[in-house]
Amino acid sequence: MKLQHKWIVAVLGLAMVGIFGMIPARLAIAYFQSPHPEAILVLGGNPYREATAAQLASQYPELDIWVSSGELPKNAKAIFATAGVSIQRLHLDYRATDTVTNFTTLVPELKQHQIQHVFLVTSDFHMPRAQAIATVVLGSQGIAFTSVPVPSDDPPEAKHRILRDLGRSLLWIVTGRTGASIGSCIDSENVRNIENCKFLDRNLLRKAGRNYLSRSVL
């Protein structure tokens, strides 16, 4: 049993080394090939984020806008229309349930449109966590980002929330799952018994390590 555990740890360790080596390279290529943003990505949660994105969109009329789980369609369209932004440029998506899925749900669509660089719009207090996730999720897919923080009066988020979602993002790269069950293990107040976390299923981790090492990430 101990040897099995060591094997799992070794495989996952190699996978993590590969991931951390891959992401900087892909980000560097993306910034080189697309030095200027080609789209605007807005993380929902506050109408001021859409309002800021609308102002940004009016300055960059050639860019389409993706809003992930933001205001209701009627309200979102009104915000952009008021800023003189054509609704034809607006892509509203409501699949995301949290910050990690804000990114993972839209990666296929961004890649389909061959977008390699986005403006990332969210509140200033939320930006550090969004940047951490974007570095892993978008960076692993060769998509760079330029941050546009929206001023707010909210205090900075707790460090453990950033670490939690960073871990979830890494899990997504390896397994294709976002690890939503982590939220039931690590909440806003404390860290619960990690042995109860469903996302740490040994068989899943073993399979994930094999799949990652058997395919080329580059």
Q: Is residue 7 part of a domain?
A: no
Q: What is the pLDDT of residue 182?
A: 56
Q: Is residue 14 part of a domain?
A: no
* Terminal-residue alpha carbon distance, the chain: 33
Residue 6 lies in a domain: no
pLDDT of residue 9: 53
What does the pLDDT read at residue 187? 46
Specify the length of the chain in residues: 218
Tell me the helices (H) and strands (E) count for the chain, helix number first. Answer: 8, 5
- CATH code at position 139: 3.40.50.1980
Q: What is the pLDDT of residue 155?
A: 97
At residue 39, the pLDDT reads 99
- What is the reported pLDDT for 179? 80
Examine residue 3 and state whether it is found in any structural domain, yes or no: no
Q: What is the mean pLDDT of each run of 10 residues along the chain (218 residues)?
A: 56 59 93 98 98 98 98 98 98 97 98 99 98 98 99 96 95 88 49 46 52 48
In a domain, 11, yes or no: no
- Do residues 160 and 186 make contact, with C-beta atoms less than 8 angstroms apart? yes
What is the total count of domains within the chain?
A: 1
Residue 17 lies in a domain: no
Cβ(134)–Cβ(148) below 8 Å: no
pLDDT of the residue at 59: 98
pLDDT at residue 169, as a whole number: 95
Range of the domain at 174: 23-214
Burial state string for 182-198 with b = 16 or more CB within 10 A and e = fewer than 16: bbebbeeeeeeeeeeee
Domain presence at residue 10:
no
Query: Could you count the other beta carbons within 10 Å of the beta carbon of residue 85?
Result: 23
pLDDT at 192: 43
| Domain assignment present for 178 | yes
